[in-house]
């Protein structure tokens, strides 16, 4: 049953990632990966919120592992950072790494803190 919950969550998270990434990126005339940054930060916030709440294992499998796992993308973050490095956009690559880490950790912390308020 858990595998089905993870698959269902992933079936919702992956298209959400694609649609949100494309929507955000289409609004920026930049080589900086704003779409990937956005989905990763939102995923960090949601996972922080979920882990801060008393959730059943089934909910954690569906939303945490499935949805957030498919929504966020470390591989695309890595690829886009390497793409920036290869195009000699050193500052943008460094900015992507630092901003992704700081914003992601901050969003996760905010999610846990917000869950603690309930």
Annotated binding site for Na(+): 69, 72
- 36 neighbors 65 (Cβ within 8 angstroms): no
Please, is 114 exposed, middle or buried when counting C-beta atoms within 10 Å of its C-beta (0-12, 13-18, 19+)? middle
> Binding site: what residues are annotated?
69, 72
Beta strands, E only, the chain: none
């Amino acid at each position: 049953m858990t595998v089905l919950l993870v698959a269902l969550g992933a079936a919702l998270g992956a298209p959400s990632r694609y649609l949100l990434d494309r929507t955000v990126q289409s609004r920026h005339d930049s080589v900086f990966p704003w779409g990937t940054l956005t989905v990763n930060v939102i995923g960090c916030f949601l996972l922080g919120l979920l882990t801060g709440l008393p959730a059943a294992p089934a909910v954690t499998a569906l939303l945490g592992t499935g949805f957030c796992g498919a929504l966020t993308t470390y591989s695309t973050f890595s690829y886009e950072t390497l793409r920036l490095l290869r195009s000699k956009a050193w500052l943008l690559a460094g900015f992507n790494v630092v901003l992704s880490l700081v914003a992601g950790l901050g969003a996760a912390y905010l999610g846990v803190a917000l869950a603690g308020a309930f």
